[in-house]
Amino acid sequence: MKITFIDGSSKEYQQGISALEIAQSISPSLAKKAVFAKINGEDYDLTRPLGGDASLELVTKDAPEAFSVLNHSCSHLLASAVKKLYPASAFGVGPAIEEGFYYDINPGAGIKFTEEDLPKIEAEMAAIATQALKFERREVTKEQALVIFENDKYKQEIINELEDGAVITIYKHGDFIDLCRGPHVLSTKMLKHFKLLSVSGAYWRGKSDNEQLQRIYGICFFSDAELQQHLEILKERAERDHRKLGRELGLFMISEYGPGFPFWLPNGWVLRRTLEEYWFKIHTREGYQLIQTPIMLNKDLWQISGHWENYKDNMYTSEIDKYEFAIKPMNCPGGILVYRSKLHSYRDFPLRLGELGMVHRHEASGALNGLFRVRYFTQDDAHVFLTEDMIESEVAELIRLFDEIYSTFDLSYQIELSTRPEENYIGTVEIWDKSEKALANACRKAGKEFKLNPGDGAFYGPKLDFKLRDSMNRIWQCGTIQLDMNLPERFDLTYIDEHGEKQRPVMLHRAIFGSLERFIGIITEHYGGAFPTWLAPVQIKLIPVKNDFHLDYVKKVKELLFKEGLRVEIDDREEKLGYKIREAQTLKIPYQLVVGDKEVNEQLLTYRKYGSTETNTVFIAEFIALIKKEIAGFGKDN
């Protein structure tokens, strides 16, 4: 049989040879680095026999996909250890995730995992890993699979959903068998460098009306050095946890009287308002018309939009004048009503309506997490109405805007293009193809690469998702550009074209922050609470050495700085100077100004920047000029 390699070369091999044997024939070192193979684009275990002519790509340890296969294999190792320690366990799913893996498990009646159980499970995993047990793949029928997993109701449920006659694969290492598509690493020997991280509750298949299982999270690396480096990052992340910093810096709080409903504290409110002002400034410059729509609207509107049918369980409702109303879970229908309030011509397009709209969604209590998962939040929504031939240029302009805003916060990103689902989509294939091509061309026009995410578009249209990477190397889904073929049809939206005829507009949904609350949580951790000067709730802390001699001058300086639009506070408490300086550092205030005899006598200011031990003494006008220059450049070199 002929095997073609990724460089275009090919070679004849005996039928039934494996990718591992081919790798060994090329180079023993290549075989050691290989984790799995792609045969005609399909993922294969290294030891799986090849059935005929094929293209071959060997995926080595340095590839991101190899990390995913390693971690999925480690989820099997976890499950086998749990099964040995807790024989009554039943298993849900155990996928690889962005950073590691998890497994959803029912450990048996009366058993609940805690963090204290993790070391015991880790010890059993380590013992199994040292046995170098091979991952053995086997194909079975649906009937055989049901017999193999007869004591695991979760696996039975998954199997019963498969088509009759489907080929099902199972994987075995030692005595443990799991339902899995694969591929896997060669043996448990490759799974030595792992760590279990946490345990939490998780509803079976993510549905709150299902049974709650226990989810154990972990991570695995190819080397101990990589594992230790990651564990150090996790320690730093814990220090940067926005819930911890939110308390320490006075940003926000959550009350037991409103789970999932954050309260903004004084410093947090200033931070939020600064972010909003930045948003307003940018969008006014970009030609957006800014609107605000009601927070509660009649049920009839949500029925037209489809939210009532598909989202009712996540909506808060109330009765007003004997009519049923719902608090909005999304801003789109309100924006559409604004569009419909007047006739539109093609000359109005692209019509950009922007809104910082507060929405409410009933999230499960177990899913709530600081500012990351809340029950009310503010979306930085925009709905753009345009003609089909404007899609490419408008999306390219949107990508430029996204790029400007994310770079302001030193956040890198990648773009994913999600295309037409295989089923349950609206519109014709031709319109979908045209729309997907327009989004792809817009990325190219903006000079941005993108990753294809086949079949993951919304039912109403394709979309671009923006995945941000923060300073802790985490990925966040924030921005999105979604092309909507559904709502313009449902609401019978029209415009008058150049021939005086009614046409259906194209609608783009667009969010950059995604949610102000969540974005503030992200940047709080990204900066570790040390916000750049333009964004910091308190930009300057004035500290008199002695109140009796220096406080009057400090008050005059504060007045001058305040008139320049700077956010400044005085620490005039009767505390030791060193204590007040250390506290200003702890609160991560960008500039601390200590005022003593020299400053008063010569009308000077001595400042120190957060994170530095160096002090500088300048005239008041010089200090104002330098800090305003920094703020104008958003903390970057001009």
Task: HSE, CB side, 13 Å, CA atoms: give it for residue 469.
Answer: 7
Cα dihedral sign, 9-13-19-21: negative
- For the question of residue 482 being annotated catalytic, the response is no
Q: CB-based contacts of 105: which residues, under 8 Å, 6+ apart?
A: 79, 82, 89, 90, 91, 92, 113, 213, 214, 215, 216
Q: Which two tokens stand for residue 343?
A: 């006739």
Task: Give me the catalytic one of 137, 383, 448, 510.
Answer: 383
Residue pair 216/113 in contact (Cβ under 8 Å)? The answer is yes
Rg (CA), the chain: 29
345: left (phi over 0), alpha (psi -120 to 50) or beta: beta
Termini Cα distance of the chain:
62
Distance CA 368, CA 352 (A): 33
3 state DSSP class of 5: strand
Q: Which two tokens stand for residue 550?
A: 């220096």
Helix (H) or strand (E) segment spanning residue 363? none
The DSSP call for residue 398 is: H
Q: Which two tokens stand for residue 602?
A: 């010569």
Burial tier of 569 (Cβ tally within 10 Å: 0-12, 13-18, 19+): middle
Cα dihedral sign, 59-63-67-72: negative
Side chain identity at 179, as an amino acid letter?
Answer: L
Q: Which two tokens stand for residue 163?
A: 């088509």
521: left (phi over 0), alpha (psi -120 to 50) or beta: alpha
Task: Give me the catalytic one of 104, 152, 178, 381.
Answer: 381
- For the question of residue 550 being annotated catalytic, the response is no
Burial tier of 492 (Cβ tally within 10 Å: 0-12, 13-18, 19+): exposed
Q: CB-based contacts of 613: which residues, under 8 Å, 6+ apart?
A: none
- For the question of residue 509 being annotated catalytic, the response is yes
- Letter string b/e over residues 461-484, b meaning 16 or more CB atoms within 10 A of that residue's CB: bbbbbbbbebbeeeebebbbbbbb
Task: Give me the catalytic one of 463, 518, 526, 550.
Answer: 463
Task: Give me the catalytic one of 214, 379, 482, 592.
Answer: 379
Task: Give me the catalytic one of 215, 361, 518, 580.
Answer: 361
Task: Give me the catalytic one of 283, 448, 509, 550.
Answer: 509
- For the question of residue 539 being annotated catalytic, the response is no
Our measurement of the distance from residue 307's CA atom to the centroid of its chain's CA atoms, rounded to an integer in Å, reads: 24
Picking from 509, 494, 493, the residue whose alpha carbon sits closest to that of residue 461 is 509
Helix (H) or strand (E) segment spanning residue 86? none
Q: How far is CA 405 from CA 72, 205, 399, 477, in A?
A: 36, 36, 10, 15
Cα dihedral sign, 628-630-632-637: positive
* Largest distance between two CA atoms of the chain: 93
Distance CA 328, CA 316 (A): 8
Burial tier of 420 (Cβ tally within 10 Å: 0-12, 13-18, 19+): buried
Residue listed under structure tokens 């094929």: 54
Picking from 486, 627, 475, the residue whose alpha carbon sits closest to that of residue 565 is 627
- For the question of residue 381 being annotated catalytic, the response is yes
Helical residues (DSSP H) of 38-180, grouped into ranges: 64-85, 118-129, 142-148, 153-160
Residues involved in catalysis: 332, 361, 379, 381, 383, 463, 509
